């Protein structure tokens, strides 16, 4: 393709936007609305997952060992457990540390009455999971290990968190799928209207001897531009809303700051920008290519 033809085609794409400005605006508004919903949803889900993840990381399984088990054996067990994929980290709590912690938490000054460590056999491993749903499998494994006396775990927390996580994942996939289908349908509809307005122009082009590519290109460029603009607008709006909402929540619910740890806007946008632009441009491209294809046969 000649450079002049390339720039002509590109120019025609831009001109198409202006010539059919109402359809263009309608298309941009549609994509923007869908991507706005997607972006908001993505931000909320990301934060929710972040909260769940933080909570998950706080859930631990504690393993106590039989009387007389040496520290070497416990540390060997620790090394074995750390190799398991669902395990995030394992902390060794010696009998002394367990007693110190107990004294601080429950006894205070009354601890002075104890001359020996009553928790002598309480050396334990605290295991933090990467994925709470794997807790039952891990517990079964731990209980089968030699020297293990008892395994304490919080079954309710684990199953609740893992349930919420899957529910959120399913709902997100469902809503995103519906939004994408609606977007593609609306874009295809808008491009169809745009093309029917220019049906005569396409037919003239074909009679004069335009190649399929030359006929399609301006419409496809138009679709891509609509998708691009339609993805940038909601990104800007979400950026403003997110920044303000993060400040508002941090000020209003400062006492819950450990639980309500809002992700920084940059973390959200690192993924949201490429995803939104890709979806916007992709919808514009697919919508225009498939629709133009239908109207090519003169």
Partner 1 sequence: MEKVVRKRRAVRPENGEDIITLDNVTKSYSTGAPALNGVTLHIRKGEFVFIVGDSGSGKSTLIKLLLRELVPSSGSITVMGHDLGRMRHRNIPKFRRKLGIVFQDFRLLKDRNVYENVAFAQRIIQKSTRDIRKNVPSVLATVGLAGKYKSKVSALSGGEQQRVAIARAMVNKPEILLADEPTGNLDPNNSWDIMKLMEQINANGTTVIVVTHNREIVNAMHKRVVTMKKGVVIYDEEEGEYHDEDE
Applying CB under 8 A, which residues contact partner 1?
1-2, 4-5, 8, 19, 200-201, 203-212, 214, 298
CB-nearer residue toward partner 1: 149 or 293: 293
Least separation in angstroms between residue 19's CB and partner 1 is 7
Inter-residue contact 187 to 287 (CB < 8 Å) = yes
- Evaluated on CA atoms 29, 17, 217, 193, the torsion sign reads positive
CB-nearer residue toward partner 1: 132 or 202: 202
Q: List the end-to-end C-alpha distance of the chain, in Å, as a whole number.
A: 23
Residues 6+ positions from 1 with CB-CB distance below 8 Å:
9
Least separation in angstroms between residue 6's CB and partner 1 is 10
Least separation in angstroms between residue 186's CB and partner 1 is 26
Least separation in angstroms between residue 221's CB and partner 1 is 15
Please list, residue by residue across 202-241, b when 16 or more beta carbons sit within 10 angstroms of its beta carbon and e when fewer do: beebbeeebeeebbbbbbbbbbbbbbbbbbbbbbeebbee
CB-nearer residue toward partner 1: 103 or 206: 206
Which stretches within the chain are classed as H helix? Answer: 3-19, 21-58, 71-82, 95-102, 135-143, 155-197, 199-208, 212-252, 265-294
Least separation in angstroms between residue 1's CB and partner 1 is 7
CB-nearer residue toward partner 1: 166 or 211: 211
CB-nearer residue toward partner 1: 213 or 253: 213
């Amino acid at each position: 393709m000649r450079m002049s033809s390339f720039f002509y085609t590109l120019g025609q794409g831009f001109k198409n936007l202006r010539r059919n400005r109402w359809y263009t605006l309608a298309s941009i508004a549609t994509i923007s609305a869908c991507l706005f919903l997607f972006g908001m949803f993505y931000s909320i889900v990301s934060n929710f997952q972040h909260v769940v993840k933080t909570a998950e990381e706080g859930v631990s399984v504690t393993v106590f060992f039989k009387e007389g088990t040496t520290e070497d054996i416990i540390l060997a067990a620790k090394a074995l457990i750390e190799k398991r994929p669902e395990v995030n980290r394992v902390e060794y709590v010696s009998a002394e540390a367990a007693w110190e912690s107990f004294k601080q938490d429950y006894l205070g000054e009354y601890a002075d009455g104890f001359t020996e460590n009553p928790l002598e056999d309480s050396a334990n491993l605290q295991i933090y999971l990467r994925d709470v749903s794997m807790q039952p499998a891990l517990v079964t494994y731990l209980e089968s290990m030699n020297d293990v006396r008892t395994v304490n775990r919080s079954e309710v927390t684990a199953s609740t968190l893992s349930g919420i996580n899957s529910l959120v994942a399913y709902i997100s996939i469902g809503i995103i799928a519906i939004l994408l289908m609606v977007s593609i349908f609306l874009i295809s509809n808008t491009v169809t209207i745009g093309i029917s307005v220019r049906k005569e122009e396409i037919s003239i082009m074909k009679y004069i001897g335009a190649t399929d590519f030359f006929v399609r290109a301006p419409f496809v460029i138009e679709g891509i531009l609509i998708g691009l603009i339609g993805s940038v607008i909601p990104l800007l709006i979400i950026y403003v809303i997110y920044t303000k909402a993060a400040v508002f929540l941090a000020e209003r619910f400062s006492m819950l700051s450990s639980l309500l740890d809002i992700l920084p806007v940059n973390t959200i946008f690192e993924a949201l920008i490429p995803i939104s632009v890709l979806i916007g441009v992709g919808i514009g491209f697919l919508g225009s290519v498939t629709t133009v294809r239908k109207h090519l046969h003169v």
